[in-house]
Structure 1
Amino acid sequence: MSGKRESVGAEPSLLTDPEEIAKREAENAVRQFDAVLDLIDEVARDGRKFRLRPSTILGLHKFALDGLSRFAGTWRSSKVEIEQSRHEPPHESRVPELMEDLCDWVNDNFESQSALSLCAYVMWRLNWIHPFLDGNGRTSRAVAYLVLCAKLGDRMPGALTIPEQIAADREPYYQALESADAAWADKKLDLAEMEELLTHYLGVQLASTFERAAQPENGDDTDRKFH
């Protein structure tokens, strides 16, 4: 597929100037990722069994849409469509229950599934549910990365993280989502394409650590893009 998957039916932004919107989105993305890192650090520090909760997902969504939407940090209460996608998200009345089920699946399978499998599931399933009027992609990638690192027990090294790689080129990510959507429409859970993509992204992220270590200067991270 080609084109950008966008939520259709989202409320207009609280801001009107395109430059101000872009600036706020970039700032929010950094704040959201910082919040993810804080949550990962809690897992590493406390040593307690990780539990994914709807409140955590809502909190990360609030970071992404703060100052941009009056619905930041809330489930959608109306229909939403995904432009450039064949998938039709479920009715809004089902969103809270489906999000509870998503968290239950992660928590029930946290010990038995690999980090990449858990990450792939969250990244696809949250997008499939599409629980927000806007910011679904940003939040799915943040939550999926949190689950990946929580399973591994700490932050993953690397300057070029998985969310940043997706933000730089969304097309392979969109294709992996469409592949999983098509399988689910046939009543099959098949995340092979998403897992393969995430395996590649994680390899690039880890390799970037070695590349930076070989450079005399680490450079400036102020232009990092997470959304």
Structure 2
Amino acid sequence: MVDRKSEAGEPALITDPLELAEKEAENALAQFDWGMEELDRWLSAKKPKIRVSTILDLHRIALQEIHRDAGNFRPAGVAIKGSEHEPVTNADVPRFVEEMIEYLDSNWDRKTAIHLSAYVMWRLNWIHPFSDGNGRTSRIFSYMILCAKMETQLPGDNTIPEQVSENKVPYYKALEFADAAYKSNKIDLTEMEELMEDYLANQLVDIHDKATGNRDAIVKRASENERDSDEKRPTKIVGIIESHPVISTAILGLLVVIIGAIVS
């Protein structure tokens, strides 16, 4: 599958490929750190106050000194190389972003953590509100939503955003699946939700395997595209617990929360 990339006609401020890659990596770390700080503020409240400004701040940090529109919605149209999806016009971006946040607010107590994070991952990419950096911003924002809904900052270095960055093919396929469904006036996040489950399981089991040195037992990456049916989705998590009999109580507790996030 061809790599999806925004094409807005606005060149990067840094033209040297190596320098650009270094700055993107530096900004990615800063974006994640800021996102976790904002998550801590959300967790200190009874219910997180999610604002448009949060998304803009995440984008600003990711694109600072890289793009002239860092922290601002795109001023013009944008195409997505490698995708048939046509994003909304720049004039419609603010309205659709507000609607996305309203969806989160109205469904916070009714939908699962997996669903809400999958919805954000897809919807922000569908809107494509920025000239560049849409994927980076959607991935960290989705992760923040997942953690906030689960009422904890998930442990581990092999985070969901990191896993997506390592192999974007399954992520692109899940986006295309949801885009195609929406063309038929349906919201179908099946692919994205299952992908999020895989990533989440990988992240938590990786903690255990790093602690015990059992690297060979790490759960197969979601990039292998092995999917369970809806009826067996919690079984995968249970299998992880059974295959790690000495898994720590803290991680086991989180895995139980995950099962609740999937089936409730």
Q: TM-score range by the shorter chain?
A: over 0.9
Shift of 1:10: 4.2
Higher RCO by CA contacts (8 Å cutoff, separation 6 or greater): 1
Give the Cα separation in 1 of the matches to 2:40 and 2:88.
34
Note the 1:3-152 alignment, pairs <5 A: 3-44=2-43, 46-152=44-150
Q: TM-score scaled to structure 2, two decimals?
A: 0.79
Structure 2 unaligned regions, length at least 5: 215-264
- Does the residue aligned with 1:187 lie in a helix, a strand or coil? coil
Give the Cα separation in 2 of the matches to 1:7 and 1:70.
15
Superposed structure 1 runs of 4+ greater than 4 Å apart: none
Give the Cα separation in 2 of the matches to 1:130 and 1:10.
15
Shift of 1:212: 1.4
Give the Cα separation in 1 of the matches to 2:108 and 2:209.
32
- Does the residue aligned with 1:47 lie in a helix, a strand or coil? coil
Give the Cα separation in 2 of the matches to 1:8 and 1:16.
16
Offset from partner CA, 1:93-128 (integer Å, 9 cap, x none): 100011010111011111111000000000000000
Bigger proportion of residues as helix: 2
What is the RMSD of the two structures over their aligned residues, measured on CA atoms? 1.1
Residue in structure 1 matched with residue 173 of structure 2 by the alignment? 175
Give the Cα separation in 2 of the matches to 1:149 and 1:3.
30
CA distance 1:21–1:183, shift in 2 (3 Å): same
- Does the residue aligned with 2:174 lie in a helix, a strand or coil? helix
**How many residues are paired up?**
214
Structure 1 unaligned regions, length at least 5: 217-227
Give the Cα separation in 2 of the matches to 1:160 and 1:107.
28
Give the Cα separation in 2 of the matches to 1:16 and 1:175.
30
For the 8 Å contact 2:79–2:87, the answer to whether it is kept is: yes
Residue in structure 2 matched with residue 192 of structure 1 by the alignment? 190
Tell me which structure has the larger Cα radius of gyration: 2
Shift of 1:178: 0.1
Residue in structure 2 matched with residue 223 of structure 1 by the alignment? none
Q: TM-score scaled to structure 1, two decimals?
A: 0.92
Give the Cα separation in 1 of the matches to 2:21 and 2:104.
33
Offset from partner CA, 1:198-218 (integer Å, 9 cap, x none): 0000000010110111139xx
In structure 1, give the amino acid aligned to 2:209: E
Instruction: Report sequence identity in percent.
Output: 47
Shift of 1:52: 1.6
